């Protein structure tokens, strides 16, 4: 576009756009928001709207698209979901005030920038989850150094949910950065424009916004929180945390353009107070979404979340991702759950009341950000009104946590009474046309409403009078926005129209008129209504300010409601699914001669999710026993589909549930305080990062072996599966020994390498368990045949058969293949692998250094004794996964195996 020929409006547009480069600019033109240039091209695609052009054919032709202002919300939601920022540019003066001259165009300005992390749009927000925005500042940044990816590097994170006002800061080391981000799951991350850390942030689909600021954020925080210094927040000497918090506050102010009065406190938290849950474990245990399709359904959260309010749902999710590390804190929650669990009336009363409580946190957020409708305030009042009733029930309780909740729930009856007396019973969706403030609140409004009502009656009289005077029975007084009040007379009666009628508009079938008397009445009505709306807006603003005076008390109430709801949810699921209160054990408190007591002991444990999906009572419960100093490793064998993974995960989930203060699915459970739960399960390709399945598997294993302690729980499912048999078994073996000798963590090790049974037998503190299957006679076409039935029961002892071929039969592979596979198996089972394993076991086990661990397994030497074609055939057979093959693939594989044999 050539500057010279630009219209004043386009000049204004470009000026505003230059200041909002990172957002799609919505430029208000009358009843539309228009977008131009690149913005229009991007938005038209996302929104599926037509792209046109402004100044078509001219030098200044520019792509353009637009949406009507009344439909804006829906379109903005689409852009936010696509990760785009939207800057809303409004007309700040009315066209009339701007005058008619070309130079004095309407004044415009950006009133708010909506980003994925700052949206208040219900169509975008998940009401049962937080919508966090996070700023990240690396330590080296303060020193002007761009070297970020070092392990000792500290990062400060400021975390805010604009919709609720929650604001926290935390310092983490490099290796905990992504874990923390995984827990927070931010909708948006804000980085300083010069920051180059985007590449090391975990690869979730996060929107990153860059923001240009200057260093030194102390004053930003002092001004925002209206404090003298940062002592109260413990930040006086915490430059890094101050930078992160200040960066986020500045960004929020820049985008929201309000004073953010509901963000009124700042909580410093530590990741060390909660059990570390790394990204892999959150995914593998399917805590908040499933591995397969990232769906909430089928996750642990989905099963245990019985909350009635959005605040409770969010609190429960937070608890789940931050398991406690302090026995007292866990027991405090457990005692609360127990009290609600045991008192059926209390449980159902709390639930009934909570069902009628709206999302107080988010309503207050909307009120604070001046983005509230009259109905939001009514909803807040209705919800706060329930708190008194809730308190009556909680006051009677005994447990510490419920008493704390009782103390945190405020009495809001004065505010509730004030709101209720200020608002009408029936409220409109917006404040725009008034009709919000109750009568009796303001004398002037009452008077104006009276006038308006009287005049309306006079209008009815006028219509009757004119009808009689003209003899036109159908004469009516009507109103529209363009012409105001008028008398409409059909063409058939036109000849009866008196002379003093002034024609205003001609329609096809009728004429519209006004009279001086009608005009005068109209002015009175419209004048009164305009004035009413003005006063209503002012009173509404006063009401909003009155509510904001109680911000802190309302936020505290909302927080406590969330906690109560989450505890009640634990009690409800415990009752519904027959969970028990776990006993939490802490090592330090136990005498050395009582070591055995310090064991993890689960009797009749169940998998909370699989159980909920199983037919009634069809889930087979299983016991677990892992002590701290002896028998801390369970090696679990059993065929595919027997239930090994389910068993492993159930132990991890029960341990986790106990640490969040929930009852657990078992007949009884004693759970030692656990510092971390590590999981290595299934195959999760990270193709986006260009890593093979096996590489990912080994990285996950490395993470476990480098970080686990004696107080950890390790779940290893099918380690070594992603490579050839010999590599795989060697790696699994070495890892098993290392965990046993070096780490000594409580470990569940499931494997299909039944060769490892002999290894576990030799290890002092490992024991063999297996998931049972039964073989039953199943004669087909008079041929004796065995069929296997999965019993899902985990019992001591290993199984030395993998039943792979039987599973293949169950899956429907053709009989010929099964028979042939059995023949091949027989040949292969001449002890090829077992012999190698046994030879290796005979050797002295070296256990002290990791490097040495790998040296005794000299498979190459042993393998050299095996005929080469057999080795290849065996390896190929081991890599077959019959459950994932079509019959045709199986036939082809068999052909390939046969060829190998003959080569």
Half-sphere exposure of 762 (CA within 13 A, CB side): 19
Q: How far is the CB of 678 from ligand ADP (least distance, A)?
A: 18
Site for ligand ADP in 782-811 (CB under 6 A): 792
Is 574 or 610 the residue whose CB approaches ligand ADP more closely?
Answer: 610
Site for ligand ADP in 766-785 (CB under 6 A): none
Backbone angles phi, psi at 727, to 5 degrees: -55, -50
Q: How far is the CB of 805 from ligand ADP (least distance, A)?
A: 15
Tokens of 713: 């729980």
In the shown chain, the binding pattern of residues 542 to 571 toward ligand ADP, with x for contact by CB under 6 A and - for none, equals ------------------------------
User: In angstroms, rounded to a whole number, what is the distance separating the alpha carbons of residues 295 and 475?
Assistant: 63
Give the residue from 734, 768, 777 showing the smallest Cα distance to 748.
768
Is 466 or 717 the residue whose CB approaches ligand ADP more closely?
Answer: 717
Under DSSP, the state recorded for 459 is H
Is 106 or 610 the residue whose CB approaches ligand ADP more closely?
Answer: 610
User: Is residue 410 at the binding interface for ligand ADP, with CB under 6 A as the rule?
Assistant: no
Provide, for the chain, the percentages of residues in helix, strand and coil under a 3-state DSSP scheme, each rounded to the nearest 5. 50, 20, 35
Q: How far is the CB of 807 from ligand ADP (least distance, A)?
A: 9
Q: How far is the CB of 667 from ligand ADP (least distance, A)?
A: 14
Compute how many other C-beta atoms are within 10 angstroms of the C-beta atom of residue 328: 10
* Residue partners of 68: CB distance under 8 A and separation at least 6: 31, 32
* Residue partners of 65: CB distance under 8 A and separation at least 6: 34, 35, 40, 43, 44, 47, 49, 50, 51, 52
Whole-number Cα distances in Å, 599 to 237, 625, 736, 783: 43, 7, 20, 49
Q: How far is the CB of 309 from ligand ADP (least distance, A)?
A: 33
Token pair 């909302």 in the structure block, residue: 558
Is 718 or 871 the residue whose CB approaches ligand ADP more closely?
Answer: 718
User: In angstroms, rounded to a whole number, what is the distance separating the alpha carbons of residues 82 and 101?
Assistant: 41
Are 312 and 319 a contacting pair, CB within 8 Å? no
Is 280 or 645 the residue whose CB approaches ligand ADP more closely?
Answer: 645
Is 648 or 833 the residue whose CB approaches ligand ADP more closely?
Answer: 648
Q: How far is the CB of 799 from ligand ADP (least distance, A)?
A: 11
Tokens of 35: 């977008």
Is 121 or 668 the residue whose CB approaches ligand ADP more closely?
Answer: 668
Is 207 or 646 the residue whose CB approaches ligand ADP more closely?
Answer: 646
In the shown chain, the binding pattern of residues 582 to 621 toward ligand ADP, with x for contact by CB under 6 A and - for none, equals ----------------------------x---x---xxx-
Handedness of CA 320, 260, 381, 550 (dihedral sign): positive
Is 25 or 641 the residue whose CB approaches ligand ADP more closely?
Answer: 641
Query: Residue 272, by phi and psi: left (phi above 0), alpha (psi -120 to 50) or beta?
Result: alpha
In the shown chain, the binding pattern of residues 32 to 61 toward ligand ADP, with x for contact by CB under 6 A and - for none, equals ------------------------------
Is 51 or 883 the residue whose CB approaches ligand ADP more closely?
Answer: 883
Q: How far is the CB of 134 from ligand ADP (least distance, A)?
A: 36
Tokens of 668: 């009884």
Cross-strand bridge partners of residue 788: 775
User: In angstroms, rounded to a whole number, what is the distance separating the alpha carbons of residues 408 and 395?
Assistant: 11
User: In angstroms, rounded to a whole number, what is the distance separating the alpha carbons of residues 219 and 221?
Assistant: 5
Q: How far is the CB of 638 from ligand ADP (least distance, A)?
A: 6
Are 317 and 309 a contacting pair, CB within 8 Å? no
User: In angstroms, rounded to a whole number, what is the distance separating the alpha carbons of residues 681 and 531?
Assistant: 68
Q: How far apart are the first and last CA of the chain?
A: 74
Q: How far is the CB of 640 from ligand ADP (least distance, A)?
A: 4
Residue 730 Cα to chain centre, angstroms: 40
Which position's Cβ is nearest ligand ADP?
643
Q: How far is the CB of 674 from ligand ADP (least distance, A)?
A: 22
Are 278 and 267 a contacting pair, CB within 8 Å? no
Is 217 or 792 the residue whose CB approaches ligand ADP more closely?
Answer: 792
Is 230 or 641 the residue whose CB approaches ligand ADP more closely?
Answer: 641
Number of residues that bind ligand ADP (CB under 6 A): 14
Is 540 or 619 the residue whose CB approaches ligand ADP more closely?
Answer: 619
Exposed, middle or buried: residue 616 (CB in 10 Å: 0-12, 13-18, 19+)? exposed
In the shown chain, the binding pattern of residues 114 to 153 toward ligand ADP, with x for contact by CB under 6 A and - for none, equals ----------------------------------------
Is 329 or 791 the residue whose CB approaches ligand ADP more closely?
Answer: 791
Is 34 or 611 the residue whose CB approaches ligand ADP more closely?
Answer: 611
Q: How far is the CB of 644 from ligand ADP (least distance, A)?
A: 3
Q: How far is the CB of 608 from ligand ADP (least distance, A)?
A: 12
Give the residue from 332, 305, 405 showing the smallest Cα distance to 581.
332
SS (H, E, C) 30-57: CCEEEEEHHHHHHHHHHHCCCCEEECCC
Q: How far is the CB of 652 from ligand ADP (least distance, A)?
A: 13
Tokens of 738: 């290392």
Q: How far is the CB of 792 from ligand ADP (least distance, A)?
A: 3
Is 116 or 720 the residue whose CB approaches ligand ADP more closely?
Answer: 720
Give the residue from 292, 178, 279, 294 showing the smallest Cα distance to 682.
292
Q: How far is the CB of 620 from ligand ADP (least distance, A)?
A: 4
Site for ligand ADP in 811-870 (CB under 6 A): none
In the shown chain, the binding pattern of residues 623 to 662 toward ligand ADP, with x for contact by CB under 6 A and - for none, equals ---------------x-xxxxxxx----------------
Tokens of 337: 């759950």
Is 303 or 641 the residue whose CB approaches ligand ADP more closely?
Answer: 641
Rg over alpha carbons for the chain, rounded to the nearest Å, is 36
Q: How far is the CB of 636 from ligand ADP (least distance, A)?
A: 9
Tokens of 608: 């909370």
* DSSP E strands, 252-325: 267-269
Q: How far is the CB of 607 from ligand ADP (least distance, A)?
A: 7
Site for ligand ADP in 699-758 (CB under 6 A): none
Q: How far is the CB of 639 from ligand ADP (least distance, A)?
A: 7
User: In angstroms, rounded to a whole number, what is the distance separating the alpha carbons of residues 185 and 174?
Assistant: 17
Site for ligand ADP in 301-340 (CB under 6 A): none
Cross-strand bridge partners of residue 714: 678, 747
User: In angstroms, rounded to a whole number, what is the distance separating the alpha carbons of residues 414 and 725?
Assistant: 73
Whole-number Cα distances in Å, 801 to 775, 795, 804: 12, 15, 8
Is 642 or 657 the residue whose CB approaches ligand ADP more closely?
Answer: 642
* Residue partners of 454: CB distance under 8 A and separation at least 6: none
Binding site for ligand ADP (CB under 6 A): 610, 614, 618-620, 638, 640-646, 792
């Amino acid at each position: 576009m050539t500057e010279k020929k630009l219209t004043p409006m386009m000049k204004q547009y470009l000026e505003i756009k230059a200041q909002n480069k990172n957002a799609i600019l919505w430029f208000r033109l009358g009843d539309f928001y228009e977008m131009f240039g690149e913005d229009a091209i991007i938005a038209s695609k996302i929104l599926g709207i037509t792209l046109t052009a402004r100044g078509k054919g001219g030098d200044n032709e520019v792509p353009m698209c637009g949406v009507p202002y009344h439909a804006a919300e829906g379109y903005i939601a689409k852009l936010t979901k696509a990760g785009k920022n939207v800057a809303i540019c409004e007309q700040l003066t009315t066209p009339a005030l701007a005058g008619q001259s070309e130079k004095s165009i309407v004044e415009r300005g950006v009133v708010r920038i909506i980003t994925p992390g700052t949206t208040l749009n219900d169509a975008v927000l998940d009401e049962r989850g937080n919508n966090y925005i996070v700023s990240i500042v690396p330590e080296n940044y303060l020193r002007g150094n761009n070297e970020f990816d070092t392990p000792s590097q500290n990062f400060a994170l400021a975390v805010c949910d604009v919709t609720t006002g929650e604001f926290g800061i935390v310092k983490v080391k490099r290796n905990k950065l992504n874990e923390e981000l995984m827990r927070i799951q931010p909708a948006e991350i804000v980085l300083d424009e010069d920051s180059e850390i985007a590449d090391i942030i975990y690869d979730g689909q996060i929107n990153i916004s860059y923001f240009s600021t200057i260093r030194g954020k102390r004053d930003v925080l002092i001004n925002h929180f209206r404090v003298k210094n940062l002592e109260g927040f413990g930040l006086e000497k915490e430059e890094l945390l101050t930078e992160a918090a200040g960066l986020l506050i500045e960004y929020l102010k820049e985008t929201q353009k309000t004073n953010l009065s509901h963000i009124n406190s700042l909580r410093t938290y530590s990741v060390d107070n909660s059990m570390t849950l790394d990204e892999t474990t959150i995914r593998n245990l399917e805590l908040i979404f499933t591995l397969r399709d990232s769906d909430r359904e089928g996750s642990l959260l989905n099963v245990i979340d019985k909350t009635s309010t959005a605040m409770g749902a969010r609190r429960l999710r937070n608890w789940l991702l931050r398991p406690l590390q302090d026995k007292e804190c866990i027991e405090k929650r457990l005692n609360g759950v127990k009290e609600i669990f045991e008192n059926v009336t209390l449980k159902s009363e709390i639930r009934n009341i909570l069902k009628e409580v709206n999302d107080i946190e988010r309503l207050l957020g909307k009120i604070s950000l001046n983005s509230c409708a009259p109905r939001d305030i009514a909803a807040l009042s209705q919800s706060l009104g329930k708190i008194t009733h809730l308190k009556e029930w909680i006051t009677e309780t005994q447990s510490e946590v419920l008493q704390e909740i009782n103390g945190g729930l405020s009495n809001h009856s004065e505010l509730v009474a004030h709101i209720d007396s200020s608002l009408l019973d029936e409220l409109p969706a917006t404040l725009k046309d008034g009709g919000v403030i109750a009568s009796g609140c303001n004398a002037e409004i009452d008077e104006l409403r009276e006038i308006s009502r009287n005049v309306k009656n006079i209008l009815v009289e006028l219509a009757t009078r004119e009808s009689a005077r003209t003899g036109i029975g159908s004469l009516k007084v009507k109103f529209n926005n363009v012409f105001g009040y008028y008398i409409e007379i059909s063409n058939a009666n036109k000849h009866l129209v008196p002379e003093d009628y002034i024609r205003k508009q001609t329609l096809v079938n009728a004429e519209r008129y006004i009279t001086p008397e009608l005009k005068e009445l109209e002015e009175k009505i419209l004048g009164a209504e305009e004035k009413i709306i003005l006063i209503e807006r002012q009173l509404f603003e006063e009401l909003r300010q009155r509510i904001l005076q109680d911000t802190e008390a309302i936020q505290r109430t909302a927080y406590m409601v969330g906690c109560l709801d989450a505890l009640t949810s634990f009690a409800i699921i415990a009752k519904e699914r027959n969970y028990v209160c776990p006993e939490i054990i802490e090592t330090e408190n136990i005498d050395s001669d009582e070591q055995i007591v310090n064991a993890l002991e689960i009797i009749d444990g169940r998998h909370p999710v699989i159980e909920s999906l199983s037919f009634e009572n069809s889930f087979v419960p299983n016991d677990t026993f892992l002590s701290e100093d002896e028998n801390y490793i369970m090696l679990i064998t059993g065929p595919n589909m027997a239930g090994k993974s389910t068993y492993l995960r159930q132990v991890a989930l029960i341990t986790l549930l106990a640490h969040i203060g929930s009852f657990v699915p078992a007949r009884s459970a004693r759970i030692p305080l656990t510092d971390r739960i590590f999981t290595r399960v299934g195959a999760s390709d990270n193709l986006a990062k260009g890593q093979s399945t096996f590489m990912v598997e080994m990285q996950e294993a490395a993470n476990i072996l480098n970080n686990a302690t004696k107080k950890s729980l390790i779940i290893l499912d099918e380690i070594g599966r992603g490579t050839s048999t010999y590599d795989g078994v060697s790696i699994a073996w070495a890892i098993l020994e290392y965990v046993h000798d070096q780490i000594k963590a409580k470990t569940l090790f499931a494997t299909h390498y039944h060769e490892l049974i002999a290894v576990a037998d030799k290890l002092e503190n490992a024991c063999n368990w297996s998931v049972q299957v039964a073989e039953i006679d199943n004669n087909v076409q008079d041929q004796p045949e065995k069929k296997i039935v999965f019993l899902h029961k985990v019992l001591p002892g290993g199984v030395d058969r993998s039943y792979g071929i039987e599973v293949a039969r169950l899956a429907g592979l053709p009989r010929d293949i099964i028979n042939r596979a059995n023949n091949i198996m027989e040949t292969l089972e001449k002890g090829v692998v077992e012999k190698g394993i046994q030879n290796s076991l005979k050797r002295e086990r070296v256990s002290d250094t990791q490097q040495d661990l790998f040296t005794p397994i000299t498979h190459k030497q042993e393998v050299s004794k095996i005929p080469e074609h057999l080795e290849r055939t065996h390896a190929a057979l081991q890599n077959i996964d019959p459950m994932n093959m079509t019959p045709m693939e199986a036939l082809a594989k068999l052909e390939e195996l046969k060829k190998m044999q003959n080569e």
